Amino acid sequence: MAGIELILPVYFAARVAAGFGRWGAAVDVAYVALLAFLMWQISPLYLLSLPFYLAAAAVGGGVFRDYAGFASALSLTGVYLMFLPAAYLKGLGFVLAVLAPAALAATARDRGSLEGFFRYMVVSVFASSFLFIGLGQRGAPVGEAYILLAIALELGVAPMFLWVPDVYGRTNAVGLAILASLPKLSAAFALLAFMPKAPALLAHVLGALSMATGNLGALTSADARRILAYSTVAHSGFALFIYPASPEVALALVLADSFGKMGLFYALGSGGPRWAARVLALHQIGLPPLFGFWPKALLVLLTAERVGPLFALYVLVNVVAVAPYYFRLMESIPEGRSAFPAAVGVAVAALGAAAPLWLIYNVSSLL
């Protein structure tokens, strides 16, 4: 496991030597395959990290097309490092995981995407600073709170959510296919890797505020990118709310949202089959047997069991509130021939069929 510190510089040197072309992509594939093997040795991360493998194909064009595999590999390295025991490797892993994919937001090189990229970078710097402050005071209540707030900021949880509609509202949709999925999933992995022991009340309050704020923002927005931005706020709220009771369900909620956002933003920017847009929207709503159904069902059931029936009713109302704006959104996505949204749609349908067999067992083994 410790050999990754030696393998990463070798990969970086090989990638620079190979350049951004066919040979560079071959180096990316070889390195990601090695990471998958290392993850398979210690945990089910190789399976739960499927969006990182898909991301290499999510940037169909633009100036950073050949960088997609490199960014995915570095971000996946960060996820792996976060689960190693050394604190400095955990911190380095967080920075790599959330920052490496960010450059892909500017793939179209338009002014809005560049502004979105720099704004996201500022937010991530603050999140990383909070994390290192928390790691320096690990074990103390204030240190644990800082770690939780660092992850919550990266997830876009209310009241630290204003950057999400701001960045998503100006960035090219294809770039957002990466920005709205990989960094958020990395932050959810950080919840399990760092396991902050902040007061449960803090997570419940932030989560409850976030799900309501996100749903209200999405219901009152007209622009598709802003609807998806506020939906991210709501789904992050679901995850943070259930984190004290069940960290594995928190990760599963963000994993499901990452699949949906990756496919929907790509379809929004490049078009896709009409059926794929509908499948992805229904997945986001949580319609069975699609993958999005299982973590949301567990969210409501576990809230009722471990937090209380009134809180479960509040969560259920917010889960149902997702449906109107996704039904509205699915009709606004342009039709096209891009295969990537279809691939993601097939993935969420297949994972949904298999979820009862592997979901909770796989995520629980990370704890």
CA dist 224 and 218 (Å) reads 9
Position 147 scores a pLDDT of 96
Q: Which of 30-34, 220-224, 291-295, 342-346 has the lowest mean pLDDT?
A: 30-34
Token representation of residue 49:
């990290």
What pTM was computed for the model? Answer: 0.90
Q: 361 or 114, which is more confident?
A: 114
Give how far the C-alpha of residue 366 lies from the chain's centroid of Cα atoms, to the nearest Å. Answer: 17
Q: Is the model's pLDDT at 366 over the cut of 50?
A: no
Number of domains in the chain: 1
Contact assessment for residue 338 and residue 266, using Cβ atoms and an 8 Å cutoff: yes
Q: Is the model's pLDDT at 47 over the cut of 70?
A: no
Position 65 scores a pLDDT of 66
Position 59 scores a pLDDT of 61
CA dist 60 and 270 (Å) reads 9
Position 172 scores a pLDDT of 83
- Rounded to an integer, the average pLDDT of 227-255 is 94
The residue written with tokens 């350049």 in the block is 19
- Rounded to an integer, the average pLDDT of 278-301 is 93
CA dist 267 and 342 (Å) reads 9
- Rounded to an integer, the average pLDDT of 134-156 is 94
CA dist 273 and 254 (Å) reads 24
Give how far the C-alpha of residue 145 lies from the chain's centroid of Cα atoms, to the nearest Å. Answer: 21
- Could you tell me which residues come within 8 angstroms of residue 241 by beta carbon, excluding any fewer than 6 positions away? 203, 204, 206, 207, 208, 210, 211, 299, 303, 315
Strand ranges, E, within the chain: none
Contact assessment for residue 147 and residue 102, using Cβ atoms and an 8 Å cutoff: no
Read off the pLDDT of residues 90-116 as tens digits, 9 standing for 90 and up: 999 999 999 888 877 766 677 887 888
The residue written with tokens 């931005």 in the block is 229
Token representation of residue 90:
């955990």
What residues does 272 pair with on adjacent strands? 335
Position 230 scores a pLDDT of 97
* Full residue range of the structural domain in which residue 213 is found: 4-365
